[in-house]
Amino acid sequence: MNQPTFRSPAGRTLVVYGDPALLTMDRMEEFGRRIDVDPRIVSLSLNANPDLTDRWLRSSAPMGPVVAIAQDAQDLVGHLPQESDEEALRAWCTVASDRGLWHDWWLSNHRDVARAEILIHQSQIDLHEANDPSSSHFVTTHTQALKARNLELAIDATWLGPHQTGAQVLTTAAIEALARDERIAMVTLFGIDELPDYARHLLELVKVKLSATDESAFDEPADVVWYPNQIDGRSDISSARDYGRRVVTTYLDLIAYDIPRYHGSTEAWNAYRSMQRRIALSVDGITTISADVAHRLREETPRLEHDRLQPITLGLDHITAESAPDQPDSDLHDLVKDLGGKRFVLVLGNDFQHKNRDFAIAVWQQVLQAGESCELVLAGLHVKSSSSKQGEQQLLEKHVDMRGSAHTIGHVTSASREWLLANAHAVLYPSSAEGFGFVPYEAAALGTPTTFASFGPLKEVSGVKTTPQLWTVDAFSQDLTALLSDPQAADLRVAHLRAVIAQHTWDGFAHSLVDFFQHVIAMPTVLTSTVAGTAAADSALASIMSSKAYRATEKLRKVKNKFSKN
């Protein structure tokens, strides 16, 4: 045999394949000790690892620039290869594995090992288990604290569908701000083949690139993979560990968690609630868009480690007074004609029941009865289920007050949306379930006052104490009447919210988010990590995919027809 050899303390002869110069005296001593631990160990590999050194790892096959094989295994397995040939060595070791014999790796972060030419490449089994949280490979190589450095991020862009609402504002504004943070080296977007018009500018940023959705994993996982929107079947978190070495997700709200009507059955609702708790326990870090959401998540998931959860208030400076267009887009041509210059109250948002658009009509009608003449504009997507459309229609069919007419329109472009917010005399925002609530701040940025209930995140962030405390028609109509009839009251509401806007920028949000990323990478991977998926998760996702809310958002999901285990 032409290959160099050396002996272990117990007298086992090891045949060396690859570059023998890498087996320094201290490494040979360690190899010798290891081979004597158990007679089932037949191969030892020297393996480069950037974050760990001096650690043994049981594997399915050899891998690395140097492999040492126990000569005494030949009687059981067959003659060893005569030279350092990958195919021959892999075949011999496969036979050894079939006999129940073992292969161990010695992990090293030394430069000479990292620079050495690979003799045997990683097997498919070991490659898969490197990203499986249940495996020894994952626990050994991923649970260590990462080194502090400029971070590479992978960000799920699945939610960037054809229509821009609050969730899409969060994703796009956050990416822009993260790209400006000096601690971020690169941002890779995945989960979508092409960015919609309102997000296409992101690819003009030097640090941002788009990865095609047909890639099962990156060449190398980023430091952190961030899911900026709720996991509900649109995003595929089963491959999270392929995209990032730490997994962070953001909980926008627990609206669908709390509301049964957004699900097709009790079973589907139960599956969704279970999935939200499992995801919370399986990721390395969670941010929420308000302290209110963080509090609810802690209540619902008591096993959640509190130092892995961080509320971070969203930025509010994505709209400025200068951004409002002089004229809306063509989608509002008929509305502008119908309004004829009359003042109007705006209700902006999809007609989910918790947005309370039917309640808003009742409030507007009482304002008319109080003597305030104004039109009502209801703008937003119609959802196929969990909608207030029927209640809205019933109220409007009975409407006879000549002091104002109602105008119902669907989704509008971003420019038209800003035009409506800027030109409304007031905004009526009676939502009773929010994770944050952008609309009052966006309206204030454009000079328009809003009435909204003082609850949860709106109370927490805005600090306004003069808005309705309860969802009663009287309370909302009184506040809206004051905003319509008293310029001073309107100006005070706008000024208060503008002061809040000045305190919460997207750059500030990104700075806090990167702080949290750095906190997470300094921690071990969460011990309950299970994002690789389970049979139970398959069943849960199947239930969710059959639910009313899921079917109602089918058009929004066409940007990525890819589902997997959650």
Q: What is the pLDDT of residue 540?
A: 44
Report the pLDDT value the prediction gives residue 454, as an integer from 0 to 100: 94
Q: At what angle do helices 389-397 and 357-369 cross, to 10 degrees?
A: 20
Residue type, 512: S
Give the per-residue pLDDT at 70.
96
Q: State residue 307's pLDDT score.
A: 94
Which stretches in the chain have pLDDT values below 50?
Answer: 214-217, 532-566
Which residues, 6 or more positions from 250, have their beta carbon under 8 angstroms from its beta carbon?
170, 226, 227, 228, 229, 230, 286, 287, 288, 289
Burial string for 94-122 (b: 16+ CB within 10 Å, else e) reads eebbeeebbbbbbbbebeebeebeebbeb
| Residue numbers of the domain that contains 92 | 5-129
Distance (Å, whole) CA 261 – CA 268: 11
Do residues 409 and 496 share a domain? Answer: yes
Q: Tell me how far CA of residue 200 lies from CA of 114, 154, 161, 175, 411, in angstroms.
A: 38, 17, 12, 12, 20
User: Are 272 and 167 contained in the same domain?
Assistant: yes
Report d(CA 503, CA 441) in Å as an integer: 12
Question: Can you give the pLDDT at residue 264?
Answer: 84
91 is a domain residue: yes
Which of the listed residues 66, 96, 129 is the one where a domain comes to its end? 129
pTM, rounded to two decimals: 0.75
Write the secondary structure of 472-531 as one string of H (helix), E (strand) and C (coil): CHHHHHHHHHHHHHCHHHHHHHHHHHHHHHHHCCHHHHHHHHHHHHHHHHCCCCCCCCCC
The reply to whether 336 and 474 lie within a common domain is yes
Q: Which of 129, 163, 182 is the C-terminal boundary of a domain?
A: 129
Task: Give the torsion sign (CA, 214, 217, 223, 229).
Answer: positive
Shared domain for 124 and 156, answered yes or no, is: no
3-state helix, strand, coil in the chain (%, to 5): 45, 15, 40
Does 564 reside within a domain? no
Q: Say if CB 181 and CB 146 are below 8 A apart.
A: no
pLDDT of residue 497: 97
User: Which residues, 6+ apart, have CB-to-CB distance to 541 below 8 Å?
Assistant: 233, 271, 275, 563, 565, 566
Last residue of some domain: 67, 95, 129?
129
Contacts of 295 (CB under 8 A, 6+ apart): none
In this structure, the answer to whether residues 158 and 302 fall within a common structural domain is: yes
Q: Please give the pLDDT value at position 231.
A: 84
The SS3 of residue 39 is coil
Q: DSSP letter at 398?
A: T
Same domain, 335 and 471: yes
Domain-embedded: residue 410:
yes
Length of the chain: 566
Report the distance separating Cα 26 and Cα 22, nearest Å: 10
SS3 246: strand
- 533 shares a domain with 551: yes
Number of domains in the chain: 3
With respect to residue 86, please indicate whether it lies within any of the assigned structural domains. yes
Are residue 106 and residue 237 in the same domain, yes or no? no
Query: Is 145 part of any domain?
Result: no
Where residue 413 sits, what CATH number does that domain have?
A: 3.40.50.2000
Q: Do 409 and 498 belong together in one domain? A: yes
